[in-house]
Structure 1
Amino acid sequence: MTIQTAIAALATLLGDGLTRSKSDLDLHGRSESHFADCPPDAVVYPVDTAQVAAIVRTCAAHACPITAWGTGTSLEGHALAIHGGVVLDLSRMNRLLAVNAADMDCVVQPGLTRVALNTALRDTGLFFPVDPGADASLGGMAATRASGTTAVRYGTMRDNVMALQVVLPDGRIIRTGSRARKSSAGYDLTGLFVGAEGTLGIITELTLRLRGQPQATAAAVCAFPTVDDAVAAVTETIQMGVAMARIELLDTASVAAVNAHSGMSFSLQPHLLLEFHGSDAGVAEDAATFGEIAASHGGTGFDRATRTEDRNRLWKMRHDAYYAILASKPGHRAIVTDVCVPLSRLAQAVAETQADIAASPITGPILGHVGDGNFHAILLIDPDSAADRTAAEDLSHRMALRALAFGGTCTGEHGVGMGKLGYMADEHGPGWDVMRQIKAALDPDGIMNPGKVVRG
């Protein structure tokens, strides 16, 4: 049994739901990461859970690798079929199946994107809060345990996925969790699959926790003399219990890039971008408290925006910051780092990272979700320069080791994929062996997204 015999069997099963066209293979062989393109042998487009199960059973019978695909926005090569085989594109499974407004939850298929979900929820008074920036699929967000700008208040996908339907590597269909707000019934299988990156099964349905749309929302920006001052303001704000919805940092290089790309006119200093959610009185009080904290740390130009269009423009600019930084050096590619440290070590981690970048031959603007200790350096390299790549890989390596030494993690939100495999033993110790044992128990033939999260 081979990949080719699996594809022949799948073609009979799926008809035009399987494609081997060069354009489809090329599309599903690249990502937004710095990894080389890696087209699969075929792409399949299931339309329901039963079809996913049939595809998985067929691939299992032929020992054919399966890699799940949402929207392909991952940054660690999660969805690249590095061992060939079939990419299972879930974009046609994109329905909102149920909204339980009284219980503040919903049921979705994995191909539905977060923007489409929130558009559909607009008239319910509810919204789904996890915002990684990209309009990612909800299945992909769960598989990578995504988070983003709002995690400081609403948590990550780990905190907002209540239940799953999953197709296991042998084709069995299971349900994990329930719509109850808590349970003590057995192992947390939902938590096992959230963050497994498709290595243990294919998510085909998600039950998600929803939140009430805030009565009032205000965004704000504030400039600081140094990154240290900005981080100190963040730390004090969190310690005082101010209920921030977002606290984002842009260093001076990032500010310069977004000014040029998005037509902004921020002063060339580190900036915090903030958002407050709550009642009218609560938002005003939180904003005033933060303003006082910021001023005590040298913050200036504290400017609030309450109009929806102004807030949307500010956050679009933040979400486009990655592309703004890429545009600042045409022809370059980015190696994007993603470390997370305890808040008390954040200022030191950022300062040491800045010093490392300043001593290197490449540039690396820094931005991040500093309210939860997560930041990124966007390391810009000439793709034809081996020296640039070596410098970026060395910087990324130093960042990861520093984060681990500070009691943090090598990846705050991007996941492991291929890019962070080298740090899993250092971060988890014998726990990584347990992960391999779980993988071997559920997927003994290693057909589910091989080469990711665990080795062997």
Structure 2
Amino acid sequence: MKDWVINVTVVLPDSRIVKTRQRPRKSSAGYNLISLFVGAEGTLGMVTEITYKLAVLPQETEVAVVSFASMNDAATAASKLIRFSGTKEGVHGDIASVKSVIEPFSLSKILSAANKQEEIDLWSGRKEALWTMTSIEPQGFNIWSTDVAVPISKLAELNGTSEIWEGDAILSMPFTDISKQESDKL
């Protein structure tokens, strides 16, 4: 994300306004404030303006859904993958390579989208997961949603540190106001 940001305007906690600009390529003196503010995720100040780079949309994309026997198999396979985009022929060749990497870890057949509507349908489950969990929680319960930041090469190791992950692709932590203190500890 930080590599796409050109400059930011930030209001600091003491009300000062800081406007950053893109650093000259040959300059290495001082802090890279853009990376510092982006990485701080709002803890150093309120970002009020942001200028970022745009990228051309790829000519071709493809979406696939894969089932795995365990979270460890999924994490191991994910650490071996990168995202592919480009020409139609190039993407299809790359997808064939991806399938050969995933197959040793996959529990079942790899489901690949045949057209744009199928891509949308396959992604909808992932995008709507939080709202689905919210709708099935009993009244009086809340959902605690959080992100885990870990290098992708260490994802399989993280999975092995907790039994709470086993069998669940998404961690949902429902809590009541009474148990909120307990959930905050986690």
- Same fold at TM > 0.5: yes
Establish whether residue 350 from structure 1 lines up as the match of residue 163 from structure 2: no
SS at match of 1:277: coil
The 5 Å alignment of 1:88-237 reads 156=1, 158-169=2-13, 172-178=16-22, 182=25, 184=27, 186-235=30-79, 237=80
Contact 1:220 1:305 in 2 (8 A): yes
Aligned-pair distance for 1:163?
Answer: 0.6
Q: Does 1:293 align with 2:101?
A: yes
Deviation at 1:337, TM superposition (A): 3.7
Matched with 2:174 is 380
- 1:327 is paired with a residue of what secondary structure? helix
Q: Please point out which of 300, 309, 312 is paired with 2:117.
A: 309
Q: Which of the pair is proportionally richer in strand?
A: 1
Q: Residues of 1 paired with 2:24 and 2:62: CA distance?
A: 30
1:318 aligns with 2:126: yes
Instruction: Report % sequence identity.
Output: 33
User: How far did 1:341 drift?
Assistant: 2.7
Task: Within 5 Å, give how 1:222-301 maps onto structure 2.
Answer: 222-235=66-79, 237-238=80-81, 243-244=82-83, 276-301=84-109
**CA 1:230–1:195 in structure 2 vs 1: closer, same or farther (change >3 Å)?**
closer
1:336 aligns with 2:145: yes
- Cα offset, 1:169, TM superposition: 5.0
Contact 1:165 1:204 in 2 (8 A): yes
Q: Residue 64 of structure 2 aligns to which amino acid in structure 1?
A: A
Aligned-partner residue type, residue 352 of structure 1: T
Once the two structures are superposed, residues 240-292 of structure 1 have per-residue CA deviations (whole angstroms, 9 ceiling, x without a partner) of: xxx31xxxxxxxxxxxxxxxxxxxxxxxxxxxxxxx42211221112111111
**Kindly tell me: are residues 303 and 197 of structure 1, through their superposed partners in 2, closer, same or farther at Cα, counting changes over 3 Å?**
closer
Separation in 2, partners of 1:335, 1:182: 42
In the comparison of the two structures, how many residue pairs are matched?
Answer: 184
Once residues 346 and 195 of structure 1 are traced to their aligned partners in structure 2, the CA distance between those partners, rounded to angstroms, is 20
| Paired residue secondary structure (2:137) | coil
> Structure 1 217/393 Cα, relative in aligned 2: closer, same or farther at 3 Å?
same
* Alignment CA distance shift 1:380-1:169 (3 Å): closer
Aligned CA distance change for structure 1 residues 322 and 314 (closer, same or farther; 3 Å): same
Q: Assess, with a 3 A threshold, how the Cα gap between structure 1 residues 326 and 172 changes in structure 2: closer, same or farther.
A: closer
SS of the counterpart of 1:326? Answer: helix
8 A Cα contact 1:220 1:303, kept in partner: yes
Structure 1 residues 167 and 228, CA, compared in 2 at 3 Å: closer, same or farther?
closer
Tell me, what secondary structure is at the counterpart of 2:132? helix
The CA deviation at 1:302 is 0.8
Output the CA distance in 1 between the equivalents of 2:24 and 2:118.
Answer: 36
CA contact (8 A) 2:66 2:106 kept: no
Distance 2:104 2:168 in 1: 26
Q: What amino acid is the match of 1:226? A: S
Structure with larger RCO (C-alpha < 8 A, sep 6+): 2
Aligned to 1:80: none
Q: 3-state SS of the aligned residue for 1:293? A: helix
* Structure 1 counterpart SS, 2:109: strand
Q: Which stretches in structure 1 are left out of the alignment for 5+ residues?
A: 1-155, 245-275, 359-363, 368-376, 397-456
Instruction: Specify whether residues 297 and 172 from structure 1 end up closer, same or farther in structure 2 by C-alpha distance, changes over 3 A only.
Output: closer
Indicate the structure (1 or 2) with the bigger Cα radius of gyration: 1
CA distance in 2, matches of 1:171, 1:225: 52
Change (3 A) 1:215 1:330: same
- Report the aligned-residue RMSD: 2.9
Q: What SS does the aligned partner of 2:160 have?
A: helix
Is the alpha carbon distance of 1:162 and 1:306 closer, same or farther for their aligned partners in structure 2, counting shifts above 3 Å? farther
Does the 8 Å CA contact 2:76/2:155 hold for their aligned counterparts? Answer: no
Cα shift readout 1:163-184 (whole Å, capped 9, x = no counterpart): 1123445555442123x78462
TM-score, with structure 2 as normaliser: 0.79
Distance 2:43 2:164 in 1: 35
Change (3 A) 1:202 1:352: closer
Mark the CA change 1:189 to 1:299 in structure 2 (over 3 Å): closer, same or farther. Answer: same
Q: CA deviation at 1:345?
A: 3.2
- CA positional deviation for 1:214: 0.3
In structure 2, how many angstroms separate the alpha carbons of the residues matched to 1:303 and 1:357? 24
